[in-house]
Amino acid sequence: MGRSSVEVANAGRPVAIRHGKERQMRKFVMAIALLGVMLGAVAAAPGVASAQTRQFTGKVDKIDDKKIIVDNRKGDKVQFNKVEETVVEGTKTEWGGIKKEDWVTVDWKFVDKPRKAYKVQVLPPRAEGGEEVKGDETPSEPGGED
């Protein structure tokens, strides 16, 4: 009867030592978990920020002092509002220098409603795709003139 019920339940180890090791283990596991969460957040942060920034390239359909409408020639026309932070780069460096038919790439943020143009890069002129048709020539039908 020399042993207490606490010592018997803990296989003869004093209770204070057992709790001290558990506490150290819990602290270690929590520190590792916190480190993992922090590293995950740091690794995901650049992806989240870049996922919000978009680019839209196309031909200027309409432009005025407050907005620009860009046609990507694939059926999409998108309007962007000029803001204080709007920067114009490329072959033209001022908003007033951009004209209809210029090719541009607009940087905007996905979360903005309405869309805001943060950077407009004016690109060199592009050639339109497709064949050039000359005059009134019409293709002859197979087996046509005899």
> Does the pTM of the predicted model rise above 0.85?
no
Report pLDDT for 38. 79
- One-letter identity of residue 98: I
Helix (H) or strand (E) holding 104: strand 103-109
Tens digit of each residue's pLDDT (9 = 90 or more) over 80-90: 999 999 999 99
Helix (H) or strand (E) holding 62: strand 53-63
Distance CA 40, CA 106 (A): 31
Distance CA 81, CA 108 (A): 10
Tens digit of each residue's pLDDT (9 = 90 or more) over 91-109: 999 999 999 999 999 999 9
Between strands 103-109 and 77-90, the pairing is unpaired
Q: Which CATH number fits domain 54-123: 2.40.50.140, 3.40.50.880, 3.30.1490.20, 3.40.50.720?
A: 2.40.50.140
Report pLDDT for 124. 92
Report pLDDT for 138. 54
What does the block give as tokens for 51? 């996922």
Report pLDDT for 43. 65
- Reply yes or no on whether the pLDDT at 47 is more than 50: no
Average pLDDT over residues 102-127: 92
